[in-house]
Amino acid sequence: MAHGYLNQFLEGKEATVYSAGIETHGINPGAAAIMKEDGISIDHHTSNLVEEYAHINFDYIITVCDHANENCPYIPSKNAVRLHHNFFDPSKVVGTDEEKHAAFLKAREEIKTYFKKFVEEHLL
């Protein structure tokens, strides 16, 4: 979801967004569906391991959950600003379809707000 919003907020800017994790799980169908409701398709996104991008000299490295922040391997990026925000994880919610939808909506709005502010404060 963060990758999708960054691409939207950075449209027309000279920037490349990479997304990776410490485990691969594929794109969560709930995340894809809730993003589509906001007009953003992440269906084409992939689930990559952070090691795949070890050769990239990043400007920013942003971890989006405490597990990644605590367990992410060191990324040797010369001058990268490292930021962390522990977002609500909707994939952990057990309940009705309506409760799961509400959880993904909550996470989407948190992510959208954070990354809109990030772009405004750091990249404009």
| Residue 40 belongs to domain spanning | 2-11+23-116
Q: What's the predicted TM-score (pTM) here?
A: 0.91
Task: Give residue-wise pLDDT tens across range 78-123.
Answer: 789 999 999 999 999 999 999 999 999 999 999 999 999 999 999 8
3 pLDDT band, cuts 50/70/90, is very high
Q: What is the Cα 103 distance to its own chain's centre?
A: 16
The answer to whether position 79 is within a domain reads yes
pLDDT at position 22 over 90? no
Q: What was the pLDDT predicted at 39?
A: 98
Asked if residue 102 is part of any domain, the answer here is yes
Flag whether 50 is in a domain: yes
Is residue 123 assigned to a domain? no
Number of domains the chain contains: 1
Residue 92 lies in a domain: yes
* CATH assignment at residue 81: 3.40.50.2300
| Residue 16 included in any domain | no
